[in-house]
Structure 1
Amino acid sequence: MISAVLPTYNRAPLAFVAGEGSWLTAEDGSRYLDLGAGIAVNALGHANPALVEVISAQAAKLWHVSNLYRIPEQERLAEKLVEATFADTVFFTNSGTEAAELSIKMVRKYWSEKGQPDRIEILCFEGAFHGRSTGAIAAAGSEKMTKGYGPLMPGFRQLPFGDHEALRAAISEKTAAVMLEPVQGEGGIRVLPDVCLKGLRDACDAVGALLVFDEVQCGMGRTGRLFAHEWAGIEPDIMMVAKGIGGGFPLGAVLAKKAAAAAMTAGTHGSTYGGNPLGCAVGAKVMEIVADPAFLAEVNRKAALFRQKLEGLVAAHPQVFEEVRGAGLMLGLKCRAPNADLVKAAYGQHLLTVPAADNVVRLLPALNIPDEDIAEAVARLDRAAGTLDADAA
C-alpha cells in the first residue's frame, strides 16, 4: 500500500498545531523552539500579528481573480520591490522553483530576440539548489537531484564552487548567463565572498552574459541587507525571490532589469495563481517591515549576538563541531559528528534545525527572534551537543 500523501519526504515524527513567534506547539502540547522557520520562510515568525491582520482583511475582500485582470495588490508590491532594488519590473510566482523556471526562460528569450537562439549555456555551480523542476535540477546538476529524470534539459554547465580559474576558462561570448546563489543554502551555507560576486559581474559584462542571482533563501533580509548581493555593491540582471517574501504565504517573484526582461512580452509567460491578492497583500506588509533600515540593523545586531554565542558553542564541543559559517541570520554549524545526529539530538531538546549538504546544520531563525530565544537556542544546542559528546566517550 502507498500512503495517501505521496511518500517523497523523509519526515521527522513531529506534527505541529500552532505557532507563535519563534515557538511551535506540537500535537501533544509540547513546545519547540524553531530555528528553521519553515526553511527560511517564516521571516517574521509564526502567526505574526501584523501579517495575520493583513491577510484576514484581504481574505474578507478578495482572494483570487487571475491575471486576466489588473490586480492592485500585485501592482503595489511590484512598486515596492522596484523602488527598493535594482529591478525595473517584477513577475510574481508561487514558489522559488517557478521563479527559477522563469529566470531560465527569460535568459533564453533574451538571446533568441537578439538573434542568437543557440546561445543557451548557463554556467552554474556545484552545490547549487534552484528547485526541483526539470529545468532547476538540470541547473544544479548533482546526481542526487537528477538521477532517474533524464534526459535532462540541455544548456547547463556546473563549475566548482569558488574556482575562479574554472570560471575564467568557461565563460565566453557563447555564455548566455551565470546563475548562482550568493549564499548557498542546501549546499551547506557557503558564502561567495563579495570580491567573487564583483568578479562575476565584471566577467559577465566582459562577454555580454546575463548575471542571475537566486536569492530565494538568502534574500529578504536574511543576511542583514534586503538582498545578499547588496553587500558586494553590484547588481544582477535577473533575480529569483521566494520564501521570506510571503512570510509563510506561498509567494515568489522574478525581479529583472528592463533590458533583460524586454523580450518577455504578452503571452510569453503566465501563472494562474501568481501574484494573487492574498499573497501580494501579505508580501507588501513583509516588504514594509523587512526593508526598513531599522529592522535590518536589528537583524545585523542579532546575527552578531547569535554568531558570538555559536563560536563559544563550537569551542566547547570540538568533537561535535568544526566551525560556524554563513552571513546574518543564515548560519550553519559545520559538524564533525554526523549532522543528522545533531538534528536528532536537538529534537530531544525540543529544538528545530535544518540539515544541509557538507555535513552542515542550518540555523535559519525568524529575523525578529528575541535575544532571549537566541540564548535559549544556544543552551539547547549545547545540551544536544553534550549528548553527542557522551556518545563518543
Structure 2
Amino acid sequence: MSAIAPDASCVEAPPDDAAAVAVPVLDFSGAVRFDPARIVEGEVGEGEGAPASARCAALLTDHSFGDVARFFADRATAWRAAVETIRLHHRTAGRPKRREIVVVSDVPRLPPALAQDAGVRLIPEDEAAIEAAMGPNVAALLLAPASIDAGLRFLPGFVLAAARQAADEYGVVLMFDETDSGLGRTGMAFAHEWRGVAPDVMVLDGLPGEAEGGEGASALVLSARLARSLPSGLPLLDENAAAGLLLALSAAFAPGFETRVQEMGWKLEDRLATLRWRRPDLFTDTTGTGLVQGLVCAGPAAPLAEALAGQGLLAQPLGNVLALLPPLTVTEAEIAAAGDILDAVVAAFPPA
C-alpha cells in the first residue's frame, strides 16, 4: 500500500470513504529540511537594516570557508555561475585552455546541470584516479563530500585530502557540492568540515525559501580569489525569496543548532542500530551521520518503505538502503514515534 500525500497540516487527507481515519504523517524522506513553524530566528549576520540577501550572504560567509556568497532562484543558474567563474578565473590568469571540470564520483552520472557540458568528465573516487586526471586542460575538481543518491554516500577523508592536494599542486580549483548535506544535516554546518578539508567554491541548491519552479533557492560560496571572476549580470534571488531563506539560514547557524542535530541523530541512530541487531535477516548494517541515517537492507528497500508509508512514516528507499532523513527541526518525540512505527512494521515483516 502507498501513502496518501499529506495536506498542509501534515495530516493525510482521508479518501472519500467517510469511515477512513486520517493517519498523522512523519516525513523522514528528506523532502522537508526545516519545519517553518519551528524556526526560531538566531544569528542574522549583518544588521537588520541590510537587505535580506546581504544578511543571507553574511550568514553563509561567517559560518564557512567563503568570503563571498551569491543566491539564485534556480540550480541551473548557480551551477552555470560556478563553472563560468572557474573558467574565467583561469582565462584571466592566462590559462585559457583550462576549461575541463573533473567530477570525482563512483556514481556513473553527472549532476544534471553539468550533463550537457562537453567540458565535464567523470572519474572514480580514487587517489590514483585524481592524480592521473591532472593535466593542462583541467580547471577544477568537483566532489560531493556526502550525497543522497545510490545509498547514503560519505567520501572518506583521504579522497577529499587527495583532491585538495592535487588542486594546490596543479593550480586547479577545488569545488564541493553540499546540496544534500549542507546547513547542518550531518551535524556540522557542512559535511566537509568533518574531514577538515575546505574547498575554493561550494554549491548548495534546493535551499529552503520560495523560489521559481518550486525547486528552492541555490547558493554559490567562493573564496576571495575566485570571487574576483564572478560573471556580471547573473539573475540573483529576489529579496522576497531571500527573506524566506533568511529565516532558515539564521536557524541553521544559531548557537547550539549543530549540537542539537547531533543529539537527535544519535537518538535516531540508536533506534536503527537496535532494529538492525533485532532483525539481522533484514538488515546488514546501519549508515549515516547526524540526521542523515539509514538501514542497509539485505534486499531492496522499496517494499519496506511502502509498508512504513502505509503506517504514516515516509522514508526514502535508495537501492538497498532505507534512508531516514527527518527535518532538522525534528523533536525527540517524533524520533521516538518513528522508531515505534519502524519496530511494529519490521516485527511483522516476513524473513528475508
For this structure pair, what is the TM-score category when the shorter chain's length is used for normalisation? 0.7 to 0.9
Residues 1:173 and 1:312: Cα distance change in structure 2 (over 3 Å): farther
SS in 1 for 2:7: strand
SS in 1 for 2:117: coil
Specify the alignment match of 2:226 in structure 1. 260
Inter-partner Cα distance in structure 2 for 1:256 and 1:385: 45
Specify the alignment match of 1:215 in structure 2. 178
Residues 1:319 and 1:95: Cα distance change in structure 2 (over 3 Å): farther
What CA deviation, in whole Å up to 9, does each residue of 1:279-318 have, x standing for no partner?
A: 2112222222211231111111111121122111111122
Match of 2:67 among 64, 88, 93: 88
Percent identity of the aligned residues? 29
Question: Is 2:291 the partner of 1:325?
Answer: no
Residues 1:345 and 1:215: Cα distance change in structure 2 (over 3 Å): same
Query: How many residue pairs end up in the alignment?
Result: 333
Unaligned runs of 5+ in 2: 15-21, 42-49
Specify the alignment match of 2:239 in structure 1. 277
Question: Is 2:188 the partner of 1:225?
Answer: yes
Residues 1:46 and 1:26: Cα distance change in structure 2 (over 3 Å): farther
Specify the alignment match of 2:38 in structure 1. 48
TM-score, length basis structure 1: 0.78
Specify the alignment match of 2:18 in structure 1. none
1:73-84 matches, cutoff 5 A: 73-84=52-63
Specify the alignment match of 1:142 in structure 2. none
Q: Which amino acid aligns with 1:223?
A: T
Question: Is 2:7 the partner of 1:17?
Answer: yes
Specify the alignment match of 1:126 in structure 2. 106
What CA deviation, in whole Å up to 9, does each residue of 1:176-219 have, x standing for no partner?
A: 11111100211311111233322221121111111111111100
Specify the alignment match of 1:375 in structure 2. 336
Greater helix fraction, Structure 1 or Structure 2:
1
Whether contact under 8 Å (1:251, 1:275) holds in the other structure is: yes
Q: Which amino acid aligns with 1:369?
A: V
Whether contact under 8 Å (2:81, 2:230) holds in the other structure is: no
Inter-partner Cα distance in structure 2 for 1:246 and 1:214: 19
Specify the alignment match of 2:217 in structure 1. 251
Inter-partner Cα distance in structure 2 for 1:371 and 1:121: 46
Inter-partner Cα distance in structure 1 for 2:224 and 2:108: 26
Q: Which amino acid aligns with 1:255?
A: V
Q: Which moved more, 1:230-239 or 1:195-204?
A: 195-204
SS in 1 for 2:98: coil
| 4+ residue segments displaced more than 6 Å | none
Whether contact under 8 Å (1:96, 1:216) holds in the other structure is: no
Whether contact under 8 Å (1:90, 1:256) holds in the other structure is: yes
Aligned-residue RMSD, C-alpha: 2.5
Whether contact under 8 Å (1:180, 1:214) holds in the other structure is: yes
Unaligned runs of 5+ in 1: 1-11, 52-70, 139-151
Q: Which moved more, 1:322-331 or 1:170-179?
A: 170-179
Question: Is 2:125 the partner of 1:156?
Answer: no
Residues 1:254 and 1:46: Cα distance change in structure 2 (over 3 Å): same
SS in 2 for 1:205: helix
